[in-house]
């Protein structure tokens, strides 16, 4: 679902449905010296239909899934496919766009695994466990190259049609084989790790030629498809999960009737991304989500005025206090089941985007609308939900006074606003300005939400900053990239192998972009040579090896450090206080840390049995007491709590901090002050 979730700042007021008065500044006033335009708002996403955080608040208050769905889709009925409705044809889900070269691997997940059958025209090939097929686009068609479990090529089918089908026992209640796309991974934000792109359920994976390349499409039953939806935390209450399952199933089933894959570039009904709704396939779902899917098996929302009978059940992260009518967001005729409805639930905790603030450079805003000077900005028209509809920009050009108007959609898109529920003003001299300096030391921790891209940094004095940086599903890490003594943001886009480093802890663009490592590597950072500047590295889980750079530039590894076992979690820190960072690993299976004090002769100088760790804990590293030696801690998703230790000998954590909601990834560092 296109639900681009929360990006928020230090705003503390909720946007009301009434128009918020704009601040008008005459040229020459003191306030005009301020350089920012301020957007304040609430919610994230389009606001049509169900608010996911609203559903969470309702479930926490005791509402059932049926009551939640009735609230967000008024007048819609719960109908069951195969009982109240005819069977719905399979949904076609686009997994890969514009592919030219792709490899599929048959992975066994059960006893006596079924073969993976590759079909092209009247030719067939059968793959056993861990065998693979590469489909490569050539000038005169697609070549198929087959390899055994060791990767040794065993057969080649010359260039021919790119229309290829892969089938296995994907329609069984419990498949014994899954299809893996080699070199591809998807973020599992419930577990806080990347998992291989694997697909266990489905009738077939179909490669469909589109000329210069081909589309990769999963052909799957709509109920089996719902198992693979990853749109909210699976730790949410059962009623919220059931409501999400019904909405997702309805959205997919409606698309089967509305879309014609043959006439679409994707050759699909829906995408596997938030362009439609996020589908992650096999291996992500927990028992709570699976139970919610099965408890609502076949259930979709229907309405007599729905064009195809089934409701197109839009949903988003949250609205700004009222749902958006579908016609106000996308035009067209009103639909009684997608109206504007007051929704206080959407602004309840723990929704992180119940308020947000964005500041933008005034000169840049003026230039974007064709003005040389901006003296006033105002939302002059609103939708019935209270969301902005039209924004007016007053100022001047070389020709004289000028007024420009833009739609809220244009404003939100150009200036990166989380939703259309916003007010706009010019910064005034009464603005509080930057927060006071923070103390160095203890308990500077942070979080990155992989579903939203939001960073939450907690300083030693308890102050919390929240802002957006990067894309959802990027993997966070931090380092002192410029040697100023402050750790700042880093992101690793594992799907492409790009590292994005920023020299300040704020929203903005990367100061350094580096292509380094292989997709699927895990990022690390440290001062490997003692020069006072942290540089990048990656840990390759497949061979348990660190590849470290001594400069934040593209190039080959300066240090190659084998350490640990495949499946270990990498860490880096100054374990002995000598001013040089070294590496280590945490082994979840035994809850043991292995830390090396040398990069040239890496052996485990410190072995720590972390008996206090729990399954699912996420390791963090920091100098919590400013003694010059890094030690460890964990972030526990089950209760959204950091447990930090100043030494390896003490029996338990001596610093405990609650932060976030447990779905985020944890980081630690000295954020400044």
Same-domain status, 555 and 602: yes
By CB atoms closer than 10 A (0-12, 13-18, 19+), residue 591 is middle
The mean per-residue pLDDT over the stretch 4-22 comes to: 28
Same-domain status, 273 and 327: no
Contacts of 657 (CB under 8 A, 6+ apart): 443, 445, 458, 641, 642, 644
Q: Judge whether residue 649 has pLDDT over 80.
A: no
Q: Mark which of 367, 398, 433 sits at the end of a domain.
A: 433
Query: pLDDT at position 65, please?
Result: 98
Same-domain status, 425 and 535: no
The mean per-residue pLDDT over the stretch 149-167 comes to: 96
Same-domain status, 617 and 554: yes
The CA distance from 416 to 406, in Å, is 15
Q: Judge whether residue 147 has pLDDT over 60.
A: yes
Alpha helices by DSSP H, 369-443 = 408-415
Domain-embedded: residue 72: no
Contacts of 171 (CB under 8 A, 6+ apart): 201, 202, 203, 221, 224
Number of domains in the chain: 3
Q: Judge whether residue 30 has pLDDT over 80.
A: no
Q: Which residues pair with residue 523 across a beta bridge?
A: 538
Query: pLDDT at position 278, please?
Result: 95
**Can you give the residue range of the structural domain that contains 38?**
1-49+314-433
Q: How many CB atoms sit inside 10 A of residue 577's CB?
A: 12
The mean per-residue pLDDT over the stretch 396-420 comes to: 96
pLDDT category at 188 given cuts 50, 70, 90 is confident
Domain-embedded: residue 642: yes
Q: Contact at 8 Å (CB) between 540 and 518? A: yes
Q: Judge whether residue 391 has pLDDT over 70.
A: yes
Query: pLDDT at position 437, please?
Result: 38
pLDDT category at 381 given cuts 50, 70, 90 is very high
The mean per-residue pLDDT over the stretch 67-89 comes to: 97
| Cis amide linkage into residue 636, ω under 30° from 0 | no
Q: Judge whether residue 354 has pLDDT over 70.
A: yes
Query: pLDDT at position 460, please?
Result: 81
Same-domain status, 336 and 240: no
Same-domain status, 521 and 476: yes
Query: pLDDT at position 355, please?
Result: 92
Q: Judge whether residue 443 has pLDDT over 80.
A: no
DSSP secondary structure, 70-106, as one string:
HHHSTT-EEEEBTTTBPPPPPEEEEEEEEESEEEEEE
How far CA 183 is from CA of 197, 205, 283, 329, 631, in Å, comes to 8, 17, 16, 38, 33
Same-domain status, 285 and 327: no
Query: pLDDT at position 192, please?
Result: 66
Q: Contact at 8 Å (CB) between 270 and 91? A: yes
pLDDT category at 26 given cuts 50, 70, 90 is very low
- Taking alpha carbons only, the member of 521, 482, 528, 527 closest to residue 501 is 482
The CA distance from 72 to 49, in Å, is 6
Domain-embedded: residue 61: no
pLDDT category at 24 given cuts 50, 70, 90 is very low
The CA distance from 389 to 369, in Å, is 16
Q: Mark which of 293, 326, 350 sits at the end of a domain.
A: 293
Domain-embedded: residue 306: no
Q: Which residue in the block uniquely carries the two structure tokens 């681009």?
A: 4
Share of the chain above pLDDT 90, in %: 67
Handedness of CA 444, 450, 455, 458 (dihedral sign): negative
Query: pLDDT at position 624, please?
Result: 83
Q: Contact at 8 Å (CB) between 592 and 564? A: no
The CA distance from 404 to 533, in Å, is 47
Three-state SS for 455-500 is EEEECCCCCEEEEECCCCCCEEEEECCCCCCCCEEEEEECCCCEEE
The mean per-residue pLDDT over the stretch 516-537 comes to: 91
Handedness of CA 520, 525, 531, 532 (dihedral sign): positive
Q: Mark which of 401, 433, 465 sits at the end of a domain.
A: 433
Domain-embedded: residue 439: no
Q: Judge whether residue 434 has pLDDT over 50.
A: no
pLDDT category at 452 given cuts 50, 70, 90 is confident
In the DSSP assignment, the letter for residue 367 is H
202: left (phi over 0), alpha (psi -120 to 50) or beta: left
Domain-embedded: residue 534: yes
Contacts of 157 (CB under 8 A, 6+ apart): 120, 123, 125, 143, 144, 145, 146
Query: pLDDT at position 203, please?
Result: 98
pLDDT category at 32 given cuts 50, 70, 90 is very low
HSE-up (13 A, CA, CB side) for residue 331: 1
Query: pLDDT at position 7, please?
Result: 24
Q: Judge whether residue 534 has pLDDT over 90.
A: yes
Strands (E) in 13-76, as ranges, are 36-41, 50-51
Q: Which residue in the block uniquely carries the two structure tokens 């894309």?
A: 471
Q: Judge whether residue 583 has pLDDT over 80.
A: yes
Query: pLDDT at position 474, please?
Result: 84
pLDDT category at 574 given cuts 50, 70, 90 is very high
Q: Judge whether residue 331 has pLDDT over 60.
A: yes
Same-domain status, 89 and 186: yes
Same-domain status, 368 and 472: no
Q: Contact at 8 Å (CB) between 508 and 501? A: no
Tens-place pLDDT, residues 286-305: 899 999 999 999 999 999 99
Query: pLDDT at position 1, please?
Result: 56
Tens-place pLDDT, residues 509-520: 778 888 888 878
In the chain, what's the furthest Cα-to-Cα distance?
80
pLDDT category at 4 given cuts 50, 70, 90 is very low
Same-domain status, 625 and 650: yes
Q: Contact at 8 Å (CB) between 49 and 315? A: yes
Same-domain status, 492 and 410: no
Same-domain status, 501 and 387: no
Domain-embedded: residue 63: no
Strand-strand pairing, 270-271 and 91-99: parallel
Higher-confidence residue of 463 and 181: namely 181
Query: pLDDT at position 14, please?
Result: 29
Tokens standing for residue 519: 């997709």
Q: Judge whether residue 189 has pLDDT over 50.
A: yes
pLDDT category at 506 given cuts 50, 70, 90 is confident
DSSP secondary structure, 3-20, as one string:
-------S---PPPSSPP
- Taking alpha carbons only, the member of 523, 440, 525, 403 closest to residue 474 is 523
Q: Judge whether residue 463 has pLDDT over 90.
A: no
Query: pLDDT at position 108, please?
Result: 97
Mean of pLDDT over the chain: 88
The CA distance from 597 to 605, in Å, is 6
Domain-embedded: residue 71: no
Q: How many helices (H) and strands (E) does the chain have?
A: 8, 43
Q: Judge whether residue 45 has pLDDT over 90.
A: yes
CATH number, domain of 477, equals: 2.120.10
Q: Judge whether residue 187 has pLDDT over 90.
A: no
The CA distance from 84 to 299, in Å, is 9
In the DSSP assignment, the letter for residue 236 is S
């Amino acid at each position: 679902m296109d639900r681009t979730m929360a990006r928020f700042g230090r705003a503390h007021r909720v946007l009301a449905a009434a128009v918020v008065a704009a601040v008008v500044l005459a040229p020459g006033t003191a306030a005009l010296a301020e350089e920012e335009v301020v957007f304040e708002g609430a919610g994230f996403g389009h606001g049509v239909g169900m608010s996911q955080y609203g559903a969470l608040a309702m479930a926490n208050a005791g509402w059932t899934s049926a009551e939640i769905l009735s609230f967000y889709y008024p007048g819609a009925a719960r109908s069951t496919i195969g009982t109240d409705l005819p069977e719905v044809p399979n949904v076609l889900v686009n997994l890969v766009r514009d592919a030219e070269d792709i490899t599929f691997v048959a992975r066994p997940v059960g006893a006596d695994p079924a073969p993976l059958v590759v079909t092209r025209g009247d030719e067939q090939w059968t793959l056993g466990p861990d065998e693979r097929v590469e489909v490569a686009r050539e000038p005169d068609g697609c070549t198929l190259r087959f390899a055994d479990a060791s990767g040794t090529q065993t057969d080649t089918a010359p260039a021919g049609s790119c229309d290829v089908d892969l089938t296995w026992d994907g329609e069984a209640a419990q498949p014994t084989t899954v299809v893996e796309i080699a070199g591809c991974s998807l973020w599992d934000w419930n577990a806080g790790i990347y998992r291989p792109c694997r697909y266990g359920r489905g009738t077939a994976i179909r490669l469909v030629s589109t000329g210069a390349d081909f589309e990769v499409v999963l052909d799957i039953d709509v109920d089996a498809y719902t198992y693979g939806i990853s749109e909210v935390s699976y730790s949410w209450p059962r009623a919220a999960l059931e409501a999400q399952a019904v909405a997702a199933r309805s959205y997919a089933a409606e698309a089967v009737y509305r879309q014609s894959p043959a006439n679409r570039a994707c050759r699909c009904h829906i995408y596997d991304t938030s362009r439609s709704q996020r589908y992650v396939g096999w291996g992500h779902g927990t028992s709570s989500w699976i139970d919610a899917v099965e408890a609502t098996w076949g259930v979709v929302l229907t309405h007599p005025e729905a064009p195809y009978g089934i409701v197109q059940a839009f949903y988003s992260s949250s609205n700004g206090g009222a749902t958006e009518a579908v016609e106000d967001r996308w035009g067209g005729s009103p639909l009684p089941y997608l109206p504007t409805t007051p929704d206080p639930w959407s602004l309840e905790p723990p929704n992180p985007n119940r308020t947000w603030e964005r500041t933008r450079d005034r000169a840049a805003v003026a230039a974007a609308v064709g003005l040389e000077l901006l003296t006033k900005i105002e939302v002059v028209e609103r939708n019935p939900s209270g969301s902005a509809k039209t924004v007016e920009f007053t100022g001047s050009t070389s020709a004289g006074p000028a007024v420009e108007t833009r739609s809220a959609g244009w404003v939100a898109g150009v200036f990166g606003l989380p939703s259309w529920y916003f007010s706009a003003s010019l910064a005034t001299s009464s603005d509080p300005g930057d927060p006071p300096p923070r103390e160095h030391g203890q308990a500077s921790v942070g979080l990155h939400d992989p579903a939203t891209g939001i960073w939450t940094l907690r300083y030693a004095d308890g102050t919390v900053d929240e802002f957006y940086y990067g894309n959802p599903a990027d993997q966070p890490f931090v380092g002192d990239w410029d040697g100023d003594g402050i750790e700042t943001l880093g992101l690793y886009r594992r799907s492409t192998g790009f590292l994005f480093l920023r020299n300040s802890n704020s929203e903005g663009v990367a100061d350094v972009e580096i292509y380094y490592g292989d997709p699927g590597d895990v990022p690390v950072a440290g001062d490997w040579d003692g020069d006072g500047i942290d540089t990048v590295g990656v840990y390759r889980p497949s061979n348990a090896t660190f590849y470290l750079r001594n400069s934040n530039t593209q190039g080959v590894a300066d240090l190659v450090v084998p350490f640990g076992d495949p499946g270990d979690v990498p860490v880096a820190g100054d374990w002995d206080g000598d001013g040089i960072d070294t590496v280590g690993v945490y082994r979840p299976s035994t809850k043991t840390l292995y830390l090396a004090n040398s990069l040239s002769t890496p052996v485990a100088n410190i072995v720590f049995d972390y008996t206090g760790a729990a399954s699912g804990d996420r390791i963090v590293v920091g100098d919590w007491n400013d003694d010059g030696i890094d030690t460890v801690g964990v972030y526990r998703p089950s209760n959204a709590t950091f447990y930090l230790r100043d030494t390896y000998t003490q029996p338990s954590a001596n610093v405990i901090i609650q932060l976030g909601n447990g779905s985020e990834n944890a980081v630690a560092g000295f954020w400044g002050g």
